[in-house]
Amino acid sequence: MQRARTPKQIGSILYRQRDLAELSQHELGNKAGLRQATVSKIESGSPTTRIQTICALLAALDLELQIVPRRKGSADNIEDIF
Amino acid sequence: MQRARTPKQIGSILYRQRDLAELSQHELGNKAGLRQATVSKIESGSPTTRIQTICALLAALDLELQIVPRRKGSADNIEDIF
DNA sequence: TTGATTTATACGCACTAGAGTATATAATTA
DNA sequence: TAATTATATACTCTAGTGCGTATAAATCAA
C-alpha cells in the first residue's frame, strides 16, 4: 500500500496521488514551487532528483514519508526476480 | 513513528537506524556503495542529496519508504510551532 | 476546424552531488 | 601512552539538477 524502494516507484505513486487530487503537473508545480517540466521528470522516475524536491511535492499533495522495515516477498522490480 | 517531511528528518531517522544496526558510516557505505563522507552528509540532512542515494541507504538498512497522508498536528520542525 | 489544455522534451545557466582521495579531530581500546 | 576506529570536512572532477524559457505532440472542447 504505497510502498516504494526506487525512484521509479516513488514517481508512480506521486503520479497516482496527483491524479487523485485532480491536479495538472502545472498546478502541482505551482503549489510546490516547481516547474511543470520538473514534475514530469520526477513522475517518470528520474533517479537523480533531489530529496528536497520530492519533499516539496509530497507537501503540496499533503503527504509525508514513513520509513519502515522492508517487507519480504516484494521484489524491487519484476525483472529482479528472474 | 518514523515519519519524515524534510531531509533533516530523513537524516535523523537514517542515523538512528544505522545505530540500531550497529554499523559504522563506513560499513553502511560499503553495503550501499557509498563513501563514508556521503553517509555523513546525508545523516546531517543535506537537502540536495539524490533520491537514489537515499534509496540505496534504505536498502542497505533493510528499510523502505511508505507514502502516507500527512498527519495533522505534527509540524515539520519544532521551530515552526512558535 | 480552431483553440485550449496537458505532458514530454530541449537549451543554457549556475549550482552541487558523489567519486576518489585525503586529513584532522574525537572517541575507544590495548 | 600509543594505536585504532569513527566522524566531519576538504579538494578536483564529471554528471545532472531545477530554473527560465520554449516548443511539439496529443487530447478535448467550442
pTM higher than 0.85 for the full model?
yes
Percent with pLDDT over 70 in chain B: 87
- Could you say which nucleotides of strand D lie within 7 A of any protein CB atom? 5-11, 16-22
Residues A63-81 have pLDDT tens digits of: 999 999 998 755 554 333 3
- Distance, in Å, from the CA atom of B19 to the CA atom of A23, rounded to the nearest integer, reads 40
Give residue B1's pLDDT. 63
- pLDDT above 50 for B80: no
Contact between B45 and B11 under an 8 Å Cβ cutoff? The reply is yes
| Distances, alpha carbon B55 to alpha carbons A71, A72, B78, in Å | 15, 17, 26
Residues A36-62 have pLDDT tens digits of: 999 999 999 999 999 999 999 999 999
Give residue A18's pLDDT. 96
Q: What is the mean pLDDT of residues B23-30?
A: 95
Mutation to test the A interface, candidates B18, B48, B53, B65, most A Cβ within 10 Å: B65
